[in-house]
Chains A and B, each alone.
Chain A
C-alpha cells in the first residue's frame, strides 16, 4: 500500500480487446437474468392464482415422495406453454436462466471472431460445443 503507484502503462492492445468483450458479456448475463426472473415470477404468480398464496408460498410443498416424476423434454415444455400451465411457465423461466451462460459463451465466440483472435475463437467454440452437447444429451 505504501508502494508508489507505478506510472500507468497504456493498456496493451489485447487488454483493450478484453475490456470491450467483458462489458458485452456482462450485458448478456444481465439481460438473461432479468428475463428469466420475470418469467419465473410470472410462473409463480400463476401457481398462486390457481392454488392460493397461502398454499403455494407458506405451506409445505407436500411430501416429496408424493410428487409425480416430472421428467421433461424441451418439446413437452413448449406444448404445455400453449395453455399456460404454471409449472410450464416456471420451467420456461428456469430454462432461460440455464441457457444464459451458454448464450454468453456463444456471444464471446462471435466477439473474439470480430476481433480476429482465432485462438480464443477456438477455445470458446470448444466450450460452446461441450455445452450444446450437454443440452443435446439432456433433451435426447
Chain B
C-alpha cells in the first residue's frame, strides 16, 4: 500500500501507472506502426518488476489495441493498404503460430538478448533512409502487380496524392514471417520488422509502411493471443489499464501522424529502436 513498502524486490505495478504508461505506448505505437510492446515490456518488467510472462501478455493486448485503434483511422483515410496488409499476413500469421509453440521452450534472458540485437539492427538499417521522403525509382516486381500491391494516399504535409507501388514482395514476405515468429515468441507485434520490411525492402512510403504495419500487427498478435489468454498470462488488472490507455493513445497518435513528414516519423523511429535495443540487451546480459 504505502510507498515505503515498494522496496527493490517487491516493485509491483499500480493500475493508474500502467494506464498512463499505456497512453504513451499507444501514441508512439500508432505513430510508428509498433504495438507498444517496446515500451510496455521494458516498463512493466524493469520499472514495475512484473514477471516477463505477464508483461508479454499485457504487450499482446497493447499490440491489438494499438492496431485496432489506429488502423480504424488509417484505413478510413486511405493510408493503410489493406491488400498489402492482408497478403503479407499470410507469412506473419504462420510465423506467429510457430513462435507461440516455441515460446515456452526458450529462456527469457535469451529472449531479451535476441529482441535487443534485432532492434539494434533495425535502427542501423533505417539510418540509410533518413532523408527519403517519398521513394523513387522503385524497380517493378511482377508479383506486386499480380497481387495489386499499389495504391495512393493523400499526404497532408505535401498536399498531394502520392501514388506508390511495392517491389521485392518475396524478400519482404520472408521478413514478415520472421516478424510473425518474433510476435509469437516474444508477445510483441514486431511492428519494427514489419515497418522495415515495407520501408526498406518493399520501398513503400514511410507513412504507408507504418499505417499498414499498424493494421497488420493486430492480426498477427490475434493469432497467438488465444494461446496466451488460455495460459493465464493475460492478467485482467494488468491488461485492463493497458487496453484502455493504449486505445486512448492510439486514437490521438493516429490523428497526429498524418500531419507529420515521412522523414520526421523515421527520425522518431530510429532512437526509439536504438534505446530499447540497448535496454533489452543489458537486461538479458544481467539476468
Q: What residues of A have a CB within 8 angstroms of the CB of B67 in the complex?
A: 101
Contact between A127 and B90, CB atoms less than 8 A apart = yes
Q: What residues of A have a CB within 8 angstroms of the CB of B119 in the complex?
A: none
The 7 nearest A-B residue pairs measured at CB: A138-B226, A130-B93, A71-B232, A90-B236, A135-B226, A60-B12, A26-B75
> Does B166 count as interface, using CB distance less than 8 angstroms?
no
CB distance from A63 to the nearest CB of B (A): 6
Contact between B237 and A94, CB atoms less than 8 A apart = no
Contact between B75 and A101, CB atoms less than 8 A apart = no
Please report the C-alpha to C-alpha distance between residue A110 and residue B158 in the assembled complex, in whole angstroms.
35
**Which B207-232 residues have a C-beta within 8 angstroms of A?**
218-219, 221-232
Q: What residues of B have a CB within 8 angstroms of the CB of A19 in the complex?
A: 78
Number of residues from B at the complex interface, CB < 8 A: 69
Q: Which of B78, B229, B232 contacts A95 (CB 8 A)?
A: B229
Could you write out 24 A-B pairs with CB less than 8 Å apart? A14-B148, A21-B82, A22-B80, A26-B72, A26-B76, A29-B72, A60-B13, A64-B50, A64-B51, A71-B230, A72-B229, A94-B229, A94-B236, A94-B240, A98-B64, A100-B64, A100-B68, A100-B222, A101-B68, A123-B86, A124-B86, A130-B97, A131-B93, A138-B229
- A127 touching B236 in the complex, CB below 8 Å, given contacts A15-B151, A22-B75: no
User: B38-73: contact bitstring with A at CB < 8 Å (1 yes, 0 no)?
Assistant: 000000000001110010000001001101110111
> Does B235 count as interface, using CB distance less than 8 angstroms?
yes
Contact between B230 and A25, CB atoms less than 8 A apart = no
> Does B161 count as interface, using CB distance less than 8 angstroms?
yes
Contact between A37 and B243, CB atoms less than 8 A apart = yes
Contact between B227 and A134, CB atoms less than 8 A apart = yes
Q: What residues of A have a CB within 8 angstroms of the CB of B243 in the complex?
A: 36-37, 40, 93-94, 97
What DSSP secondary structure best describes chain B's contact surface? helix
Q: What residues of A have a CB within 8 angstroms of the CB of B230 in the complex?
A: 71-74, 138-140
> Does B106 count as interface, using CB distance less than 8 angstroms?
no
Most B-side CB within 10 Å, residue of A22, A67, A99, A108:
A22
CB distance from A117 to the nearest CB of B (A): 9
Contact between B222 and A98, CB atoms less than 8 A apart = yes
Q: What residues of B have a CB within 8 angstroms of the CB of A71 in the complex?
A: 230-232
> Does B178 count as interface, using CB distance less than 8 angstroms?
no
Please report the C-alpha to C-alpha distance between residue A63 and residue B49 in the assembled complex, in whole angstroms.
9
Contact between A91 and B236, CB atoms less than 8 A apart = yes
Q: Which of A8, A70, A94, A120 contacts B83 (CB 8 A)?
A: A120
CB distance from A48 to the nearest CB of B (A): 10
> Does B96 count as interface, using CB distance less than 8 angstroms?
yes
Please report the C-alpha to C-alpha distance between residue A61 and residue B44 in the assembled complex, in whole angstroms.
12
